[in-house]
A = this chain, B = another copy of it.
Amino acid sequence: MRFLHTADWHLGRIFNARSLLEDQRHLLDQLVGLVAQRKPDAVLIAGDVFDRAVPPPEAVALLSEVLSRIVIGLRTPVLMIAGNHDSGERLGFGAPLLAAGGLHLAGPAGQVATLRLADAHGPVDVIGLPYAEPAEVRALHALDDTPDHAESMRLQLDALRARPDKAARTVLVGHAFVMGGEGCDSERPLSVGGSGAIGAEVFAGFDYVALGHLHRPQTFAGGRVHYSGSLMKYSLSEVDQAKSVSLVELDGNGAVSIERIALEPLRALRILEGSLEDLLQRGAQDPRKEDYIHARLTDAGALLDPMSRLREVWPNALSIERLVLSQRGEGLTRRASTRQLAPAELFASFLREVADEDLDEARRAAFAEVLQTLGGERGAA
C-alpha cells in the first residue's frame, strides 16, 4: 500500500506583497505528475491547504483543478483535512457528495473523513482528523474546562479508536505540533504564548500518522509519525530546507518506509550578502535572475532606492536587510524607547545609524529650524 503524503500547501499565500500562486501551480503540476508516475493508492493532504480562512478565488480554482486532475484524471482518491489556517466549514463544503467521487474531506472540527483501501494483505483504514481548537473539543465533548492541545488530541483519538475493524491497518491524517518538532518562521503557533505541542506517544496504535503543520520534513517514533513538510519555502528561515513530498510504503505487517521526493521550485529563494554595488555586479552574471532574492546589504551610508536597483537585475527581489542598521538598531532600542526621545535626539540617533555621523551644532541648529517651520505650518493649517 502506497501513499503520497503532502501538507501545508498554503495556497493563496502572499510573501512580501507577492502572490505565490504561480509558484504553487508549478509545484502542484509536479505533484500531479508524481501521482501519475508513482501511482500511489491514495494522496493524503494533512491540512493548511489554504493560507487563510477566506482564500483568494484564484487559489480556490487552483485547488479545485488540481484535485480534479488527481481524482478524476488519475482515478486516485484523495483524503484532505483542514489545518489551523483553513476554515473547516468552507473546506468541508459538499464533503458527503465529494466522497462519492473519490475526494474525502474532513473540514469542521468533530467531523472525520474515512477511506477504506485494501491490498493483498487486507484492509487499510485511512482516517482524516481535521485540526480542532481546544475550545471546539471542549464543546464537542461537553467538558467543563478547555483542555490543552495534548488532552484535546487524546480525546479525539480515543473516539476514533473505538472503530469496528481492529484487524485493519490504520493510517491517521492529522494536523498538530509534535513535541520536539523543529519549527520555522512561517507556521502560525497553535496556542498563544506556546507551541501547543503534544507528545508523539499520543499516536500509539496507528500504523502511520501523516502530519501537517511543521514546514520542515521530519520524522518521529521511528518513522510512524511523519511530517511531509510544506509545498515550498514560506519564510527566510526555510532558505536551507529541502522541500519534498513523501511517498510512504506500508507493508502487510504495518511496517513503514518513507521516500522523500524533492519538488523543483519555479524560483529559488536565495539570500545574498554584500554591498549594493557588489551584488549588482554579481547579478549581471547570475543565470537565475528570476529567483526570489533577499539582499543583506553591508553598505554603511545612505542608499537611494536600493530595491529598485536590485529589481533591475532580479525582478523578483523580495526584501532588503541593512546589516549595519540591524546590528546597531538593537543598541538604540535597548537604550531608550524612541517615543521617549526628544526630536533632536531621535534625529541624532537616526543620523548616527544611517550615516555614521554626529549631529554637530550647525546641523542641530538647521534641524531645529526645520522642525520649527514644520510646527508653524501645522499650527496654521
Q: Which residues of A contact B (CB under 8 A)?
A: 53-54, 57-58, 60-61, 63-64, 67-68, 71-72, 87-90, 92-103, 108
Contact = CB atoms under 8 A, between A and B. Distances in A.
B54 A93 contact: no
A88 B60 CA distance: 10
A58 to B, nearest CB: 7
Number of copies: 2
Given A87-B57, A100-B72, A100-B100, A94 B67 contact: yes
Given A54-B54, A57-B87, A87-B57, A101 B93 contact: no
A60 B93 contact: yes
A68 B89 contact: no
12 contacts: A57-B88, A58-B89, A61-B92, A68-B96, A71-B97, A72-B100, A93-B93, A94-B94, A94-B98, A98-B101, A100-B101, A101-B101
Contacts of A64: 92-95
A68 to B, nearest CB: 4
B57 A97 contact: no
A100 B71 CA distance: 11
A101 B105 CA distance: 14
A72 B71 CA distance: 20
A103 B96 contact: no
A259 to B, nearest CB: 28
A57 B68 CA distance: 24
Interface centre among A53, A96, A97, A102 (most CB of B within 10 A): A97
A60 to B, nearest CB: 5
Contact of A97 (B61, B67, B88, B108): B67
Given A58-B89, A67-B97, A72-B100, 19 more contacts: A57-B89, A60-B89, A60-B90, A60-B93, A64-B92, A64-B94, A64-B95, A71-B97, A72-B97, A93-B94, A94-B94, A97-B98, A97-B102, A97-B103, A98-B98, A98-B101, A100-B100, A100-B101, A100-B102
A97 to B, nearest CB: 4
Contacts of A72: 96-97, 100
Contact of A68 (B71, B88, B94, B102): B94
A89 to B, nearest CB: 3
Nearest to A73: B96
A133 to B, nearest CB: 14
Nearest to A64: B93
A53 to B, nearest CB: 8
A175 to B, nearest CB: 18
A277 to B, nearest CB: 44
